[in-house]
Structure 1
């Protein structure tokens, strides 16, 4: 599909000034130039024209808010001079898979003061001696070249950050979980309190039962003592009667 027609389809009845991201990968430019893109795209921040048959960026319109430009797998060999003027806020530029051979070809990128990430993978320039050191020296504003910084530390994956934000969930979910935990803890506390009360009640009952048992033993002991006293009294009475009977017998004799 021709680039101009593809861009028209991607608008989806929107006004060009409303478009912030435009992806027209795998379409075809009829003359190797950017087609169908105009200065009306004043809000455009991300533009992707991968494998679109581009050999030049000279007809790229003024895109003051453009931050990310993807033009990998084309046949661009130069003509990067106008990027600083047309896309002054560019921070990410992917030129991988193009026909860039010399450091002088990317020298105009020095004027892109906000450029932080540059990709040149699969370009002939990567075969130069001390390729990475030379590019970082030429473009001191760069942080990442082909996905790695000067210490060979890989660029952080921003998509992972977005996934963590999504996993955090909408506001309020954590609060609900905390409230549920509090409710569960409260229920456990009530159960513990009930169990403690029950044990205390059981202990009090046992003490009362022990007290009743002691009282019963004391009553039994008192009854036994009373019984012993009654027996002793009966026996004493009996001995007295026997003594009296013996005295009567002596008197009769």
Structure 2
């Protein structure tokens, strides 16, 4: 599908001057067809991925455009036209193109609002000192190939704050509860000790009382035995006296 037909489909009966976002990826861009975008005066985001572009020299004036994606094309230069046609660009995606020289990137210096540039897959990204050189050429740039200028700054963005690392505050109520439990346990222990001592004392007293009772029984038994012995001896003496009386009578 060529680009003109694709543009007609994307419009959907809308007024081109009111369109803010337009995606024309993988349509066929013939020579001069970029000029058809001149009616999109309010366009802010434009995607031209894999449309066969070899130059951006025919880019129409898009003063409100802040994001341009032109990856997967045949661009090797001619980026200087963006300075005039798209002066408010903030994000420029040129990955997987044929850009080989740093001089091609140097022409973007007049894009004062450019903050993000993607050149992954381009030969220029394999040059020694490429990353430092790009940031030197474009001092306003803060992001290159999806990474922040300062790797430490990027790492710090993913680190949690001290407040986030800190765990939840300790619950003082739990400590109070534990103290209460310890006090209860100690008081119960004291009660058990007192109760045990009391029982032991009671047991000792019972044993002493039982001992006294046994001794009293033994004494009573001995007294009874003595009384019985006394009675027996009295009877014996009485009988002997009677026998002696009988013998005297016989004489």
- Across the aligned residues of Structure 1 and Structure 2, the Cα RMSD in angstroms comes to 5.2
Q: Deviations over 1:9-66 (max 9, x none)?
A: 334566657755433211011225425434546262x322012122333333414252
Q: Is the 8 A contact 2:95 2:120 kept in 1?
A: yes
Question: What TM-score results when the alignment is normalised by the length of structure 1?
Answer: 0.58
Question: What TM-score results when the alignment is normalised by the length of structure 2?
Answer: 0.58
Number of aligned residue pairs: 222
What is the CA–CA distance in structure 1 between the aligned matches of 2:106 and 2:40, rounded to whole Å? 29
Residue equivalent to 2:225? 238
Matched, 1:117 2:104: no
What is the CA–CA distance in structure 2 between the aligned matches of 1:154 and 1:25, rounded to whole Å? 35
Distance of aligned partners of 1:223 and 1:95 in 2 relative to their CA distance in 1, 3 Å threshold: closer
Q: Deviations over 1:69-99 (max 9, x none)?
A: 1112323354433423443332222234445
What is the CA–CA distance in structure 1 between the aligned matches of 2:126 and 2:212, rounded to whole Å? 119
What is the CA–CA distance in structure 1 between the aligned matches of 2:203 and 2:124, rounded to whole Å? 109
Residue equivalent to 1:54? 53
Q: Is the 8 A contact 1:39 1:63 kept in 2?
A: no
Q: Is the 8 A contact 1:34 1:59 kept in 2?
A: yes
Distance of aligned partners of 1:225 and 1:122 in 2 relative to their CA distance in 1, 3 Å threshold: closer
Distance of aligned partners of 1:11 and 1:235 in 2 relative to their CA distance in 1, 3 Å threshold: farther
Q: Is the 8 A contact 2:59 2:81 kept in 1?
A: no
SS at match of 1:47: strand
What is the CA–CA distance in structure 1 between the aligned matches of 2:126 and 2:221, rounded to whole Å? 133
Structure 2 portions without partners, runs of 5+: 159-167, 245-251
The CA deviation at 1:6 is 1.9
What is the CA–CA distance in structure 1 between the aligned matches of 2:128 and 2:63, rounded to whole Å? 35
Distance of aligned partners of 1:102 and 1:32 in 2 relative to their CA distance in 1, 3 Å threshold: farther
What is the CA–CA distance in structure 2 between the aligned matches of 1:132 and 1:28, rounded to whole Å? 33
The CA deviation at 1:225 is 2.8
SS at match of 1:69: strand
What is the CA–CA distance in structure 1 between the aligned matches of 2:153 and 2:60, rounded to whole Å? 28
Q: Which stretch of the first structure deviates more once superposed, 47-56 or 238-247?
A: 238-247
What is the CA–CA distance in structure 2 between the aligned matches of 1:123 and 1:227, rounded to whole Å? 116
Q: Which stretch of the first structure deviates more once superposed, 135-144 or 243-252?
A: 243-252
Q: Which of 1 and 2 has greater Rg? A: 2
